[in-house]
Every structure is written in C-alpha cells, then in structure tokens.
C-alpha cells in the first residue's frame, strides 16, 4: 500500500464484546478499533472469534454485552440507519444458480434500492467479470463467485466494506487478482476495507492496519509498518564459504552485531539499526568479498506466531 495519512477517526469500534455459546466463551471482552480510510486486516487462529465478532458488529447475532459502532453509529440498535453505507461479504456468496451474474446483481441489488445498468456494468468491470456477465452463476468458478460477491458488496458505493475470508478457496493467481481489486476499490472510492483472513502474506501485501485476535480477545492492533518495526536491521550477506569463518571472527569484536546465522550462500546477520553500512565497510576493508548484501524485511507471520504463541494458543 502507498503511504497514507493516519487518522484518529474510527470506522469500526468494539469495546468489551462478550459472546458465549453454551459453556464456551467465543468472545471474552474483545475490544478493537479500525481507523477510517484504511485497508485493515482481521487476523487470528481458527476459533479465535473473528467470524463471531463480525456477526455481532453487523447485527447478525446479539452480543451478551459490549459496545459497538460502525461509521460512528452505535450498533446494533441503529442497524437500519447504517446498513446502506456498508458493503458486506460474509462467507461464500449465495446467488441464484440459473440466473446470470448480471441479473443476480440487478435482482439482489434492487432489493436494497434502485440500481442503474451503468453501475452494474461498472462494478462488473472492476471485478473483472464483464465478459462473464451473461453466464449463469452456477457455471462460475469459486474465484468468479467470490468476485461477484465483491461486486454485489460495492454496488451502492459503501463507505465501509466488511469481508470475511474473501479469497477463501482461490488459487494464488486468483488471490493476486482479488488483492488488486481491493486496492482499486480503495483507491477509486476511498472506501475503508476490513477483511478477515488467515493468509498472513496477503494481509501484509494489502493492509495498512491490522487487528490480531486470539481466544476471544484482541492481543495486538496497529499499523503494519509499526508492528514490523524493529530495533535491528537484518541482512543476508552473500560471501564465499571459504570466508565465512573469517567474517564471523571479525564480527565478534563488534557488539553492534547482535546475531548471526550461517546460510548455504553466506550469512544472515542482525545488527543495530542503521549500522549495516558500517558492517559492510568493516568486512570489505578486512578483505571479505561481499557479492551481495540483501535486506530481510520483518514478516507479519513471525509477529503473528510470536503473539499467538505467547497467548497460549
């Protein structure tokens, strides 16, 4: 994502949400916020409470207790007022199998409020289904069905788009296509997008902000860039295997080198932030031939696993 202006305005707020099914607590005081104008990810292991939280926010089930709001409007008591400003895709989209993609959008979209043919053509173009608009929905692939569901969710230009596992069942090519679709929607309409997913790499590629939940509570939220920031730089040094031992000996004399790991083609080294150029200078002047110095970015997957493991998952 491109750099964006951070805001204190919230598109979604949840405070102390509790939900119990029989003897099991699905949510145990979950609280989080989603900044307005972001593309935000909702992450958590299976059973963490993501789908339950989304259903409570949308008024599809009632909470045992807690406070919620969408676009600044308290929920669920004002659900009718806010729903025409939302686009929603929860689980797999359900349309009439024998009707065409276009007719399904027109039929179901018109149940909310009148929709023009021009707008239907526009959303079909956005999701890449213009050529398949006249085909029966039952002939669509899984990815095409998901994309038609996204098309339906944006017919009425929502201010907030809420999606539950929108790339579920898709192959890598389909996920990449869907990722581009969301970027285009956000860029064209400034729509706030909140999507749950278990695909950490997809979230890192797409989202500005992330909410991580586990065991019915929020365990971390923040801008992805902040969550992945570190007090050290990590680089891969491509050097000849005959010089690895010498390089390790040199680095022992410098406390700025925090960790090192031998790799098949050299070393993986973590150093104090900003010290990488100095490390390069020291090694080169000591006769170490470095063919490449490759920065290694922090991974959202590593952060996610560290957080959920520490929470006893």
Task: Kindly report each contact of residues 109-115 with a partner whose C-beta sits within 8 Å and lies 24 or more positions away, as own/partner.
Answer: 109/152, 109/155, 109/156, 112/84, 112/155, 112/156, 113/84, 113/156, 115/155, 115/156
CATH number of 232-297: 3.30.70.100
Contacting residues for 8 by C-beta, under 8 A, at least 6 apart: 35
Contact 26, 20 (CB under 8 A): yes
Residue-wise pLDDT for 113-159, tens only, equals 889 999 999 999 999 999 999 999 999 998 899 999 999 999 999 99
Q: Does residue 59 have a cis bond before it (omega within 30 degrees)?
A: no
Tell me if 10-227 shares its fold with 232-297: no
Contacting residues for 9 by C-beta, under 8 A, at least 6 apart: 35, 36, 37
274/35 Cα distance (integer angstroms): 31
Contact 105, 132 (CB under 8 A): no
Of the pLDDT bands very low, low, confident and very high (cuts 50, 70, 90), residue 309 is: low
195/203 Cα distance (integer angstroms): 9
DSSP readout, 108-172? HHHHHS---HHHHHHHHHHTT-GGGTTSBGGG--HHHHHHHHHHHHTTT--SEEEEESTTTT--H
Residue spans of the domains in the chain: they are 10-227, 232-297
Question: What's the pTM?
Answer: 0.77
| Cα angle: 95, vertex 71, 80; to 5 degrees | 55
Contact 71, 81 (CB under 8 A): no
Query: Which of 62, 79, 71 lies closest to 27, judged by CA?
Result: 62
Residue-wise pLDDT for 52-89, tens only, equals 999 999 999 999 999 999 999 999 888 888 988 999 98
101/85 Cα distance (integer angstroms): 23
Which class is 10-227 in CATH? alpha beta
Neighbours of 277 (CB within 10 A): 11
Residue-wise pLDDT for 162-215, tens only, equals 999 888 878 888 889 999 999 999 999 999 999 998 788 888 889 999 999 999
């Amino acid at each position: 994502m491109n750099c964006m202006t951070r805001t204190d305005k919230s598109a979604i707020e949840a405070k102390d949400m509790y939900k119990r099914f029989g003897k099991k607590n699905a949510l145990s005081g979950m609280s989080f916020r989603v900044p307005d104008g972001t593309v935000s990810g909702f992450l958590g292991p299976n059973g963490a409470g993501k789908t339950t939280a989304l259903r409570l926010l949308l008024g599809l089930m009632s909470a045992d207790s807690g406070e919620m709001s969408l676009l600044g409007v308290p929920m669920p008591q004002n659900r009718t007022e806010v729903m025409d400003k939302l686009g929603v895709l929860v689980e797999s989209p359900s349309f009439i199998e024998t009707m065409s993609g276009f007719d399904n959008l027109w039929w179901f979209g018109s149940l909310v409020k009148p929709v023009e043919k021009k707008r239907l053509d526009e959303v079909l173009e956005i999701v890449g289904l213009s050529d398949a608009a006249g085909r029966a929905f039952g002939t669509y692939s899984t990815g095409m069905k998901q994309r038609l569901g996204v098309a339906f969710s944006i017919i009425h230009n929502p201010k907030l788009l809420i999606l539950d596992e929108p790339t579920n069942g898709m192959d890598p090519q389909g996920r990449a296509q869907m990722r581009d679709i969301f970027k285009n929607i956000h860029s064209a309409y400034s729509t706030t997008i909140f999507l749950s997913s278990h695909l950490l790499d997809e979230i890192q590629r797409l989202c500005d902000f992330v909410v991580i939940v586990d065991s019915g509570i929020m365990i971390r939220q923040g801008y992805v860039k902040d969550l992945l920031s570190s007090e050290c730089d990590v680089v891969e040094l491509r050097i000849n295997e005959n010089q690895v031992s010498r390089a390790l000996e040199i680095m022992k004399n410098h406390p700025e080198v925090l960790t090192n790991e031998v790799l098949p083609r050299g070393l993986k080294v973590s150093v104090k932030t900003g010290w990488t150029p100095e490390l390069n200078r020291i090694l080169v002047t000591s006769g170490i031939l470095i063919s490449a110095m490759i920065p290694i970015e922090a991974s959202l997957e590593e952060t996610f696993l560290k957080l959920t493991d520490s929470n006893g998952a």
